[in-house]
Structure 1
C-alpha cells in the first residue's frame, strides 16, 4: 500500500508539473495524442540539432590552429543577419495565412527544419561554400521559427477549452524543456561516438529524421479542429453533395490534406475591394442578379480568380456561405466561360435552397460557425440588399 501511494503521489506530481490544470477536461480530446507524438518529434529533432551544432563548430574552425576567431564571428553574424531578414520577409508574405492551414504549415516548418539541419551537417564537407550554406540554413531556421511558433499558438487556441491558453502554453514549454534535456543527455553519449565518421553521422541523421517526420505527420494528423478552413469545408461539402449528410469534425479532419499541393478546393479571394471585381454599374447589376446575400461573388479583373466582396454587415456565417458558393460555382463554370454570369445567377438559387439545411447540419455535427479560418481580408463594401436584418 505504501508503494502504491508513492506511485500515486509521483503521478500527481508529474501531472501537476507537465499537464494543464484540470486535465483532461480543460483541454481538447486530441490533446494527449498530439502531445505524445510532439514529444517524440521534439526528442529526435534535439539530437539531430546536436549533430548540426557539432558540424558547425568544426566548420567554423574549432580545433583548427589556422582558423581565426574573427572569421568565425563574421560567419555567425552573417548567419544571424540573413536569418533575421528571412524571418521578417516570411512573416510579411505568409503571416496572415498561417492560422488558416495550421496543420499544413506546422508540417512544412518541421520539414524545412530537417532540411536546414542537413545543410548544417553537410556544410563542413564543402569549405568553399561553408558561409553560404550556413546562411541559407539560418534563413530556413528563422522561417521555421515563424511558422512553427505561429502554428503552435493556433493549436494552443484549439486545445485550450477553459480560457486557459497561458496554462496550456506554459505546460507545453515545460514538456519541451524536459524533452530537450533528455535529448541533450542522449547527445552527450551519441555524438562522440559518431563524430569521427561522416557516414555514421549521416546514417544517424537519416534514421532520426525519418522518426521526426513520421511523428510530426502523426501529431498534426491527430488534431481535430472544429473551425472550418477551406480544405475542411470542401471535404464536408463534397460529402454533403454526394450523401446528403454533414461529416463531423472527427470524420472530416483525418481527410484533410497535410502536404502542400494536395486538396481540390478552389482558389478564392475573400474580402476583396469592390473595384477588384467590377468596373461598371452594369457589372454590379450582373453580380447582384438573383443575389440577396451579404456578399458578391465574381471574378477578379486582374487574375480571373474567383473573388468575394463582403458587405459591411457580413458575419462568419456569410463568409462560410460565400466560400461554399465559390466551391459550387467552380464546379459549374470557369473564368473563361462566356456564360459564367448566367451560371452564377443559377447557383444563387441553388445555394439559397441548400445552405439553410447545410448550416444547420454543421452546427448539429459539432462545427463552429461563429468563427472560421477562411482567410478573409478586411475589405468591406455597402450596397442595397434585400436580406432581412
Structure 2
C-alpha cells in the first residue's frame, strides 16, 4: 500500500538497473519508478544511457564476474598503447620521407608495401604454427602480444635514426605487429567466450569495440597536444614512449591477472591437482587463476603432448601390452623422447580427457623430480599413475565441480589423432 492510497498490483525490473511498480488508483493503473531517492533520477538516467552504449545488455548478470575489472585495465592499456602508437607512426612517416624534399613518392610507397607484405606473410605463418595454442594459453599469448607490440613500436621509433637499415627494420616491425594482430585478436575472442554468460558474444564484442573507439578518440585528442612537443625531439619522444610503455605493460599484466577462468587448461589443472595431492584441498577458480603463470617460462618439467599418434607411444607389441597394463581407460599413455604422450580413443569423454591430463601431469612431475632413466622405469611410473587415478580421480572430480570448476568442457590442447586399439584379450 502506497502513502497516497494506491495499491501495488505488479512490479517489474530491467536487469538490476531499474525497478518499476504498477499502482491501482481511482480505477486506473499507474506505472511509477521505484526510486529510493527521487533526486538521483537524472543521474541514474545518464548512467543508464552510458551503460546501454558501452556495456553489454543485462550487465552485470550477462557477463562473468571479472568483466568490469578486466575492462578497466584493458581500457587503460588501450589508451597508453594509442599514445605509443602515435609516436611510432610519426617516426615511420618521417622515416619514409614525409617532410623531406629529397624523398620520392615511389621509394616511400615501396617501403610501405614491403612492410605490409611481410606483415601479411607473418600473419599467415603465425596462425598456422600457433593458432591451436591461443585458446589453451590465452593469458600468456595476450600478454606476449602486448609486449611484442611495444617492442615493434620501439623499432619503428628507432628506424629513422638508421636510414641504411630503415626498410629492414620497419619490415621486421611489421612482422611483429602482424603476430600481435593474430594473437591479440584470437585471445580477445577466447576471453569473450569466457565473459559471455548468456551466449552474448556478439554483444560483448560490439561493446568492446565501442569502448576501444572511445579510448582511441581520447588518445587522439591527447596526441594532438603531444605531437607538437616531440616533433624532431628524440629525447622527449623516447621519454614519453617509455612512460606509456611501462603503463601499458602494467595495465596488461593487471588485466590478465584479473581474469578468472572456470575451465581447465594444462596449467590450471596441474596447479589444482598438485594442491589436492598435497593436502586433499581443492583450489577454487579464483585461487588457481592467481597461481597460474602468465609469462612464458623455461621450465624443467617434462612437457606433455596430448592426442598423439599411436607410434609416438608404442613401437612394438610388447610396448602396447605395457601401455594396456592396469589401464581400463579409453586412452594410452607413455613416455618417449623426453615427453609424456597421451593417445586418445574416439569414445573418450571430457571427464576422460581431464583424467588423462591429470595422469600426464603427475607422470611429468614424478619423472622430472626423480629423473628416472630407462624405458622400464618410465612404464612403471605410467602403471603407478593408473593405480593412483583409480583411487583419487572420482573424489577429485567431485571436489572440483563443488569448487565451481566447469568440467563440461576444457581448454586442454588436444591434437586430432584418435586411435582404436586391440585389447590384451584379443
CA separation in 2, counterparts of 1:335 and 1:258? Answer: 30
Q: How many Å apart are 1:125 and its aligned residue?
A: 0.7
Counterpart for residue 48 of structure 1:
84
CA contact (8 A) 1:100 1:375 kept: yes
1:164-221 Cα deviation digits (max 9, x unpaired): 0000000000000100010011000011111231000000000000000000000000
Counterpart for residue 368 of structure 1:
406
Which of 337, 345, 348 aligns to 2:386? It is 348
**Whose relative contact order is higher, 1 or 2, with alpha carbons under 8 Å and at least 6 apart?**
1
Q: How many Å apart are 1:277 and its aligned residue?
A: 1.5
DSSP-derived class of the 1:296 partner: strand
Which of 187, 200, 203 aligns to 1:164? It is 200
Counterpart for residue 327 of structure 1:
361
Which of 297, 305, 318 aligns to 2:352? It is 318
Structure 1: segments with no counterpart, 5+ residues:
none
Mark the CA change 1:385 to 1:177 in structure 2 (over 3 Å): closer, same or farther: farther
Which of 417, 423, 426 aligns to 1:379? It is 417
CA contact (8 A) 1:266 1:326 kept: no
CA contact (8 A) 1:116 1:140 kept: yes
Counterpart for residue 304 of structure 2:
268
Within a 5 Å distance, the mapping from 1:1-389 to structure 2 comes to: 4-261=40-297, 266-300=302-336, 303-333=337-367, 334=371, 336-337=373-374, 338-384=376-422
Could you state the TM-score of these two structures normalised by the residue count of structure 1?
Answer: 0.96
CA contact (8 A) 2:91 2:156 kept: yes
DSSP-derived class of the 2:293 partner: coil
CA contact (8 A) 1:39 1:175 kept: yes
Mark the CA change 1:351 to 1:76 in structure 2 (over 3 Å): closer, same or farther: same
CA contact (8 A) 2:138 2:191 kept: yes
CA contact (8 A) 2:62 2:198 kept: yes
Mark the CA change 1:4 to 1:262 in structure 2 (over 3 Å): closer, same or farther: farther
Q: How many Å apart are 1:267 and its aligned residue?
A: 1.0
Q: How many Å apart are 1:262 and its aligned residue?
A: 6.0
Q: How many Å apart are 1:384 and its aligned residue?
A: 4.9
CA separation in 1, counterparts of 2:194 and 2:126? Answer: 24
> Higher Cα Rg: structure 1 or 2?
2
CA separation in 2, counterparts of 1:6 and 1:326? Answer: 59
DSSP-derived class of the 2:221 partner: helix
